Chain A
Amino acid sequence: MADKKNRGLVVVDILVSCFPKLAAKARLKFDKVREKHLLLLPEKVVILNETAASILILCDGSQTVKGIAEKMRASLKDGNNASDISTLPDIQTIEEDISGFLQEMAEQGWVVIHSHAEDK
């Protein structure tokens, strides 16, 4: 368990300054019929939860994991009323969670991790 955690931290170090981008073969879609966010892939449809969809929408190759984490935290803040702000996870926890999620997405080949920002 501790070992797993350590490995997780190494991954975080690599990732926060990287620029994740949705793979070219993948498309995001909000499906009005099912009222779900979908990740469309060749021969595969993945049903996403709200958080996963919000993160993937930000994976356009122009922002870092750190930047995405900040945006996610800001939107969590907006969604909560003032008294709940203290219960929000700190930025480092959010970065770790997002890194872990993106690492999984990258292993599936659905997200590509670049070390430099994409020219727009």
Chain B
Amino acid sequence: MPKTNNLVEPPYSLLAELTHRCPLHCPYCSNPLEMAQKESELSTADWIRVLSEAADLGVVEVHFSGGEPLLRDDLEILIRHANSLEMYTNLITSGIGLTAEKATSLKDAGLANVQISFQAGEAKLSDIIGGYKAFEKKREAVKAVKEAEMHLSLNVVLHRMNIDKLEGILKLAEETGAERLELANTQYYNWALLNREQLLPCWEQIQRASEIYRKAKARLEKKMEIIWVIPDYYASTPKPCMGGWAAIGLTVAPDGVALPCPTAAMIKDLSFENVRYSSLNSIWNDSSSFNRFRGEEWMPEPCRSCDLRHEDGGGCRCQAFALTGDSFATDPACKWAPEHYLIEKAVQDANNDPKPQNKPLIYRRHQNKTLLKK
């Protein structure tokens, strides 16, 4: 028996990223720039084992995501297995491929909840942002989920190109009968960071949108739960990273790499274990990558002596690494961070009037060789 680290609480959730393949090309995608190829994806048997190990470890909720998880032909098998382990199952999808038949078969397998992404409230803009003619297919997917009587959530990532159209997004969500709407201001990692100049809204846009959100939340209180993920570039304190580094949940990437959060692979000075070679139990409890930022010992100043350290845990490690090159740094989103000027500069640029818009958007591509050579 491997020794277990008694100080570590068991995880509640597993984000199972089944594939990086996706029909959409959203320029804010949180998937890594260098994505797993189909040949390197875990097999059905691997995922079955991972789910069983997760259940033994204490995981009670599984989020099947990607890329587009519907591109895997073993989704029903995996949902059925998770269900037999009494885990709550959630599908995070673009909606492409979610026909009425598919929705019924997923429900029969035990799927409890479906989250469908929308890029905007209307077809033209939605399809421009996603780089794919997806809007009508998404509407059909929404209908299929409702008819199969599954719980429906719409997920919309907000940025400069769609944030002024928030009312349209709310109207769409109401029309579809979604029980939940997640309005997530873009988090700037990976593809989104690459496109930050075109995506980061100005202060006035954020103000207007948060006012619309506030009113909608009050008006729709009984009908629809609305979640607002704060734009941390405009907050003075950082967001707590996933409730703490390797504290509540874990991610398994398509190629089997186990991560404390979906974007952690970007931290190049950490090496992560693979579920092909290590058990989830040993990864969660004993791996150096998962233990690296647990607790408060690792913290630099000003975090170490800051009263807010219990709340924000020093902020996001991925953001610290992406912006400063040092994964131990205080998250630059914090106003007391030595490198807060990096955030201030980006915010200043976003608020310059008129804003130069000459850089083209870089759309997510599954194989973007030219980009990787850069």
* Residues in chain A within 8 A of chain B (CB atoms): 24-25, 27, 29, 31, 33-34, 38, 40-43, 45, 109
Asked if A24 contacts B151 (CB within 8 A), the reply is yes
Chain B contacts for A40, CB-based, 8 A: 60-61, 88, 112
Asked if A42 contacts B151 (CB within 8 A), the reply is yes
Among the listed B10, B12, B112, B180, which residue makes an inter-chain contact with A27, where contact means beta carbons less than 8 Å apart?
B112
Closest A residue, CB atoms, query B113 = A42
Closest A residue, CB atoms, query B57 = A33
Asked if A42 contacts B58 (CB within 8 A), the reply is no
Chain B contacts for A29, CB-based, 8 A: 60, 86, 88
B153 at the interface (CB under 8 A from A): yes
Asked if A42 contacts B60 (CB within 8 A), the reply is no
B167 at the interface (CB under 8 A from A): no
Q: Tell me the complex Cα distance, A25–B90, Å.
A: 10
* Chain B nearest CB, measured from A102 CB (Å): 17
Asked if B60 contacts A38 (CB within 8 A), the reply is yes
B149 at the interface (CB under 8 A from A): yes
Asked if B58 contacts A31 (CB within 8 A), the reply is yes
Asked if B179 contacts A25 (CB within 8 A), the reply is yes
B225 at the interface (CB under 8 A from A): yes
Chain A contacts for B151, CB-based, 8 A: 24-25, 42
Among the listed A31, A45, A109, which residue makes an inter-chain contact with B225, where contact means beta carbons less than 8 Å apart?
A109
Q: Tell me the complex Cα distance, A120–B156, Å.
A: 38
Given A24-B151, A27-B112, A45-B12, is A33 in contact with B58 using a C-beta cutoff of 8 Å?
A: yes
11 contacts between A and B (CB under 8 A): A25-B113, A29-B88, A33-B57, A42-B112, A42-B180, A43-B61, A43-B90, A43-B153, A45-B13, A45-B61, A109-B225
Mask: chain B, 200-213; 1 = CB below 8 Å from A; 0 = not: 00000000000000
Asked if B90 contacts A42 (CB within 8 A), the reply is yes
Asked if B12 contacts A25 (CB within 8 A), the reply is no
Chain B contacts for A25, CB-based, 8 A: 112-113, 151, 179
Chain A contacts for B13, CB-based, 8 A: 45
* Chain B nearest CB, measured from A106 CB (Å): 11
Q: Tell me the complex Cα distance, A38–B87, Å.
A: 11
Asked if A24 contacts B149 (CB within 8 A), the reply is yes
Closest A residue, CB atoms, query B114 = A42
Chain B contacts for A27, CB-based, 8 A: 86, 88, 112
Chain B contacts for A109, CB-based, 8 A: 179, 225
Q: Tell me the complex Cα distance, A38–B86, Å.
A: 11
Closest B residue, CB atoms, query A25 = B151
Mask: chain B, 126-165; 1 = CB below 8 Å from A; 0 = not: 0000000000000000000000010101000000000000
Which 10 pairs from chain A and chain B are nearest by CB? A25-B151, A33-B58, A40-B88, A42-B113, A29-B86, A45-B12, A33-B10, A27-B88, A42-B151, A40-B60
Q: Tell me the complex Cα distance, A38–B12, Å.
A: 11
* Chain A nearest CB, measured from B186 CB (Å): 19
Chain A contacts for B115, CB-based, 8 A: 42
Among the listed A24, A31, A42, which residue makes an inter-chain contact with B153, where contact means beta carbons less than 8 Å apart?
A42
Beyond A27-B86, A29-B86, A40-B60, 10 additional contacts (C-beta under 8 Å) are A25-B112, A25-B113, A31-B58, A34-B58, A38-B60, A40-B88, A40-B112, A43-B61, A43-B90, A43-B153
* Chain B nearest CB, measured from A103 CB (Å): 14
Chain A contacts for B56, CB-based, 8 A: 33
Closest B residue, CB atoms, query A45 = B12
Chain B contacts for A31, CB-based, 8 A: 58, 60
Closest A residue, CB atoms, query B110 = A27
Q: Tell me the complex Cα distance, A45–B14, Å.
A: 13
Q: Tell me the complex Cα distance, A33–B58, Å.
A: 6
* Chain B nearest CB, measured from A66 CB (Å): 26
Q: Tell me the complex Cα distance, A33–B61, Å.
A: 14
* Chain A nearest CB, measured from B235 CB (Å): 21
Chain A contacts for B88, CB-based, 8 A: 27, 29, 40-42
Q: Tell me the complex Cα distance, A29–B180, Å.
A: 23
Chain A contacts for B113, CB-based, 8 A: 25, 42
Q: Tell me the complex Cα distance, A45–B179, Å.
A: 17
Q: Tell me the complex Cα distance, A43–B113, Å.
A: 9
Chain B contacts for A33, CB-based, 8 A: 10, 56-58
Chain A contacts for B225, CB-based, 8 A: 109
Closest A residue, CB atoms, query B59 = A33
* Chain A nearest CB, measured from B63 CB (Å): 9
> For chain B residues 52-106, which have a beta carbon within 8 Å of chain A?
56-58, 60-61, 86, 88, 90
